[in-house]
Amino acid sequence: LAEAYDVLSDPMKKGVYDKFGEEGLKGGIPLEFGTENPWTVGYVFHNNPYKVFKEFFGGDNPFAEFFAEDGSEPNMAFGGLRGRGVRKQDPPIERDLYLSLEDLFYGCTKKIKISRRVMNEDGQTTTIRDKILTIDVQPGWKRGTRITFEKEGDQGPNIIPADITFIVQEKLHPRFKRADDNLIYVVTIPLGKALIGCTVDVKTLDGRLLNIPINDIVHPKYFKVVPGEGMPLFQDPARKGDLIIYFDISFPKQLTPDKKKLLKNALL
């Protein structure tokens, strides 16, 4: 290392190295390279390394801080670099947060109690203490939304507490299923209403009762879209997705001869 600094500090030697490399430097160079002091003898380092370091850096050894007095590397396990070791953060802690569709429709506040180790005043021991984390659920949040509390994990010597992340999951709902910002509703109707039309009553998440007229013939692939009756959009809660109604057609298990005759006359 001292040899490298010796070469770099001498313009003549550096020029030879830049043009001919280490082989040219140590093996000799052509006479035409220099006219005043042609150097044909290979370079050999004879200098005092501590003198070179002192001239180059203003000190005996620029890397002395990284080594112990006997030249060995210091123990990095408990601080390193003479007690100034880099603290390592624990891996993040992830937990599911189950919310109802009503929670995600209106928004709400959830308070979650956690137990964690907290450093005592001596800086070495810890005590388990409880803490309440508050989550302000916003209207329109979806499954997979992540809420992170930085450095709220266990404390301890020489570590950075882990981040705690809650991941939103949606609870099953008795009436609706969510699809992005839309709500899916499945209603069962008899075959007769599927053929002649009907009105479907839907109770919304905010308690209103919608009366949806169905004037089309309901076939197996038919669905009805009711605009603006879905979930609020997170970016703009005043806007909402759609309500999509699917139909499960209930067929009669049996028909009397008279009903069969009536259907035959009506349909065939």
The two three-digit tokens of residue 166, written as one number: 């809650």
The hierarchical CATH code for the domain 176-250 is: 2.60.260.20
Q: Which whole-number Å values give the CA distances from 242 to 179, 182, 212, 231, 245, in the listed order?
A: 10, 5, 13, 7, 10
Q: How big is the CA angle at 147 (ends 144 and 149), to the nearest 5 degrees? A: 150
pLDDT per position in the chain (268 positions), as tens? 546 556 566 777 666 667 666 666 566 655 554 444 444 555 554 555 555 445 545 555 554 444 444 444 444 433 334 445 577 888 999 999 999 999 999 999 999 999 999 999 888 899 999 999 999 999 999 999 999 999 999 998 888 999 999 999 999 999 999 999 999 999 999 999 999 999 999 999 999 999 999 999 999 999 999 999 999 999 999 999 999 999 999 998 988 999 888 888 888 7
Q: What is the DSSP string of 245-265?
A: EEEEEEPPS---HHHHHHHHH
pLDDT tens string 42-65: 555 455 555 544 554 555 555 444
Cα–Cα distance for residue pair 6/31, rounded to 1 Å: 22
- CA nearest neighbour of 242 among 224, 228, 256, 222: 228
Q: Which CATH superfamily is domain 90-170 in?
A: Urease metallochaperone UreE, N-terminal domain (2.60.260.20)
CATH 2.60.260.20 maps onto the chain at: 90-170, 176-250
Q: What residue type is 44 in one-letter code? A: V
